[in-house]
Amino acid sequence: MTSRHVEAFLEMLAAERGAARNTLAAYGADLSDFAAFAAAQGVAAHAADAGLLRDWLAGLAAAGFAARTQARRLSAIRQFHRFLAAEGIRPDDPTELLDSPRLPASLPRALTEEEVERLIAAAAGLPGKRGAVAAAAVELLYCSGLRASELVALPAGALRPGEELIAVRGKGGKERLVPVSARARALALAARDAAAEGKGARAARWLFPSRAAAGHLTRQSLALLLKEAALAAGLDPARVSPHVLRHSFASHLLARGADLRSLQVLLGHADIATTQIYTKVLEARLKALVEAHHPLATGGVARGPDFG
């Protein structure tokens, strides 16, 4: 049974931070797991000390949970205890004494620019209305760095005549402006008209209308559409997803000289640290470039005379 303190915490996340339903469900599950562990030790979740928290983390590691899963669960517990301290429910925050699990370095997967062009062309070639919708989705995801949830929820009037920027509502209900290329705009408007045909007034609300309960294209349908386009383009479907296109957008911009602060704004990251992962992509590419083309990298250059 969920405690009143956990319920109050989840209500705060929803009301003050605009947390999405999936986020609230994940936090609730993580807190329930911790509460069950604490109860087995005869302690209420809101009264746990640092020692109990360390034991819980050690149990996660012993059970084989990945470092990222451990870190995510610890993040939920940290925010819960910060809430308790801020509300005066307890005088301290025991999570301040805890170290986060060491996460393995990972690089975002990205398609090459040529692969993205192939994907767009293949998407446009899909039969019927699917081709128009797929081409517009790929183009918008890649040219604007949108999340899948942001793309499918774009209203029908998002693309206003004469405006090169569109307002996007991202995580936590925060809005940002992102650029849209002329080609992406034309494809999206064509897709909207094709998809709305025969769907009635309900379809007039969304840029990507569908017969789904929400009235617009679902994230699952979008992912399947991209897999279909990937197969048509001769690409491994496992390498293509809305998230991969978002990574490709960021990686290609950075490689062409964009600065991290601008990239942070475009991606809608609350913390610059999240954006800094893309510097790893650039570092890896620069290292590969030097190893492939620098004459000393292969030892193929004779040394000059030794004047020593």
One-letter amino acid at 214 equals A
SS3 198: coil
Domain termination residue (choose one: 215, 236, 257): 236
**How does residue 308 score in pLDDT terms, banded at 50, 70 and 90?**
very low
State how far the alpha carbon of 262 is from the alpha carbons of 105, 166, 259, 268, 276, in Å: 23, 16, 6, 10, 12
Active site residue 269: yes
Active site residue 243: yes
pLDDT score of 303: 42
pLDDT score of 83: 93
Is residue 190 over pLDDT 50?
Answer: yes
pLDDT score of 80: 93
Is residue 301 over pLDDT 50?
Answer: no
Judge if 119 and 84 occupy the same domain: no
Which residue out of 54, 130, 171, 176 is catalytically annotated?
171
In this structure, are residues 46 and 53 in contact, taking their beta carbons and an 8 Å threshold? no
Most confident of 69-73, 225-229, 282-286: 225-229
Judge if 88 and 135 occupy the same domain: no
Q: How far apart are CA 143 and CA 245, in angstroms?
A: 9
Judge if 125 and 60 occupy the same domain: no
Judge if 118 and 219 occupy the same domain: yes
Q: What is the mean pLDDT of the chain?
A: 85
Judge if 39 and 145 occupy the same domain: no
Residue 223 lies in a domain: yes
Q: Quote the tokens at residue 5.
A: 């303190």
Residue 294 lies in a domain: no
Q: How many domains does the chain have?
A: 2
Active site residue 176: no
Residue 295 lies in a domain: no
Residue 274 lies in a domain: no
Which residue out of 46, 73, 246, 247 is catalytically annotated?
246
In this structure, are residues 229 and 240 in contact, taking their beta carbons and an 8 Å threshold? yes
Which is higher by pLDDT, 257 or 196? 257
pLDDT score of 294: 73
* pLDDT (tens digit per residue) in 87-113: 999 999 999 888 877 766 565 678 999
State how far the alpha carbon of 106 is from the alpha carbons of 68, 132, 287, in Å: 11, 34, 16
Domain termination residue (choose one: 236, 259, 277): 236
Which residue out of 81, 147, 185, 247 is catalytically annotated?
147
Is residue 214 over pLDDT 60?
Answer: yes
pLDDT score of 302: 42
Least confident window among 117-126, 151-160, 235-244: 151-160
- Residue 61 — φ and ψ, nearest 5°? -65, -45
Give the residue among 106, 83, 107 at the shortest CA–CA distance from 15.
83
pLDDT score of 257: 83
Residue 307 lies in a domain: no
Which residue out of 90, 243, 252, 280 is catalytically annotated?
243
32's CB contacts (< 8 A; 6+ apart) are: 2, 6
Judge if 83 and 130 occupy the same domain: no
Residue 245 lies in a domain: no
Judge if 122 and 218 occupy the same domain: yes
Cα dihedral 101, 103, 104, 106, rounded to 10, equals 170
Least confident window among 126-135, 197-206, 225-234, 285-294: 197-206
Give me the CATH number covering residue 85.
1.10.150.130
Give me the CATH number covering residue 187.
1.10.443.10
Judge if 117 and 63 occupy the same domain: no
SS3 96: helix
**How does residue 198 score in pLDDT terms, banded at 50, 70 and 90?**
low
Identify the domain containing residue 53 by its residue range.
Answer: 4-97
pLDDT score of 151: 93
Q: What is the pLDDT averaged over residues 128-155?
A: 92
Judge if 129 and 197 occupy the same domain: yes
Residue 268 lies in a domain: no
Q: Quote the tokens at residue 293.
A: 């083309």
SS3 for 237-263, per residue? HHHCCHHHHHHHHHHHHHHCCCCHHHH
Give the residue among 146, 135, 153, 169 at the shortest CA–CA distance from 216.
153
Judge if 8 and 40 occupy the same domain: yes
Which residue out of 5, 46, 185, 269 is catalytically annotated?
269
Is residue 241 over pLDDT 80?
Answer: yes
Residue 104 lies in a domain: no
* pLDDT (tens digit per residue) in 3-39: 889 999 999 988 888 888 888 899 999 999 999 999 9
One-letter amino acid at 30 equals D
Judge if 42 and 133 occupy the same domain: no
Which residue out of 27, 81, 185, 278 is catalytically annotated?
278
Is residue 137 over pLDDT 90?
Answer: yes
Is residue 141 over pLDDT 90?
Answer: yes
